[in-house]
Structure 1
Amino acid sequence: MPERALAIPLSSGNAVSGVIHAPPRAKRSGVAVVLGHGAGGDMHAPLLVDVARGLAGRGHTVLRFNFPYKELGRKAPDRRETLEMAYEGAIARLRKQKPERLVIGGKSMGGRIASLLAARAVPCDGLVFLGYPLHPAGKRDALRDEHLQAIKAPMLFLQGTRDPLCDLDLLRPALKRLGRRARLHVVEGGDHSLEVLKSAGRTQESVLAEILAAIDGWLEKRVSGD
């Protein structure tokens, strides 16, 4: 699918880099997805690239982008306000494609920032989380789930069983409280980047196929079908 680099203007007057994946017009589903990266990566993180390309191959338009600190080559993430401002800039840029449905999310921190925007009523038709960071590593009592109750849109959580930032025994009751809005897809043996060990007896390609099938099916049933 065609990929095009672009600059995303921000309300601060600066800009960040992005890459848009657009399927042929005749195959477009009408769904557009914004994907933010995790704290330690950038928009070129393998999981983000593979998911973006895979979803574009299924007819969905996807935009992945950098947060400002990565654009400047820094390691430490920006303040929450700056991260949210950049994410809103990415949303505004993708809305120029005039999608019928807009889904936001991303890997770890990128997904969490998307959820914070949705919790304060930034319009979207769904959220997809590639490894939601429910708590810091080793701090199971510092949960980041309270704001999820304020989100009205459907949510898909893709979580690995080896994720040190998301104990599934803590996530499941949190999602149960969200009711029908939340769906959990567990990647057996997956870590925080949804990668599996070689000893798992399966390839990363098969894991990616599983992830894409889960997202695509959810988009069709819970987003496009509503």
Structure 2
Amino acid sequence: MINGDEGCPTFVFAHGAGAAMDSDFMETVALGLSAQGIRVVRFEFPYMQQKRETGKRRPPDRQPILLDYFREVLDELQVENPVIGGKSMGGRMATILATEMSVPGIAVFGYPFHALGKPEKVRIDHFCQLSAPVLICQGERDAMGNQSDVAQYRLPEQVRFEWYADGDHDLKPRKASGYTHQAHLDHAINRVSQFIHEVTSA
């Protein structure tokens, strides 16, 4: 699924564990980025394709399968210098992939720093192998890595954050916070668009 013109910088945008490539979040971000001169390429990992065909919920494929499929997508695209990234699990796979290949940048919406309820098992060991700049748009109260938890991690300087006040794993704030989900999404889209244009023109 592709949004945007061929001559624009390309962002290969992988979905998260539970929601498909055409979920409301993925659709909003893809359309928002394409409106700002980014060509957004979405795809589905094998388990999500099977879920779509059978209608039965399936757990994500194992990491090697996810990474192999992500590689296949990039190989088939044959695009020079694509920025890679994704929502949650998809973004995590992009950061792992970027340790073995050269990309201009990685953009992630809601990085899953740890599994739900398991803050002691942090998924950042590979970050020290990253050479490309990383932008992570994260909700302050994300259950898979909130702002106070992440502040304690030792992360490389090329990993940058945009924090969203009272945002959850989808950057969604509570009504009482005074913030809106749409405003957070709009800001994240603008920031990621700026990031992609910056790293692809460097």
Give TM-score, length-normalised by structure 2: 0.90
1:123 aligned onto 2:102: yes
Identity of aligned residues (%): 32
Match of 1:64 in 2: 42
Give the TM-score normalised by structure 1. Answer: 0.81
**Counterpart residue type for residue 194 of structure 2:** G
Residues 33 and 190 of structure 2 are in contact (CA less than 8 Å); yes or no, is this contact kept in structure 1? no
For 1:164 and 1:48, locate their aligned partners in 2 and report how far apart those are by CA, in whole Å.
19
Unaligned regions of 5+ residues in structure 2, if any? 52-56
1:1-226, aligned counterparts within 5 Å?
A: 19-23=1-5, 28-29=7-8, 31-73=9-51, 74-95=57-78, 98-99=79-80, 101-119=81-99, 121-174=100-153, 177-179=155-157, 181-221=158-198, 223-226=199-202
How far, CA to CA, are the matches of 2:151 and 2:70 in structure 1? 27
Deviation (angstroms), 1:92? 2.0
Amino acid at match of 1:209: D
Q: Given residue 2 of structure 2, which amino acid in structure 1 is its aligned partner? A: I
Over 6 Å off, 4+ runs = none
Structure 1: which 5+ runs fail to align? 1-18
- What is the alpha-carbon root mean square deviation over aligned residues? 1.6
- 1:115 Cα deviation from its structure 2 partner: 1.1
- Which residue number corresponds to residue 6 of structure 1? none
Q: Which is bigger in relative contact order (C-alpha 8 A, separation at least 6)?
A: 2
Counterpart-to-counterpart distance in 1, 2:77 and 2:173: 32
Q: Do the aligned residues in 2 keep the contact of 1:63 with 1:94 (CA within 8 Å)? A: no
* AA matched with 1:154: P
Shift of 1:45: 1.8
The CA distance in 1 between the partners of 2:72 and 2:89, in whole Å, is 17
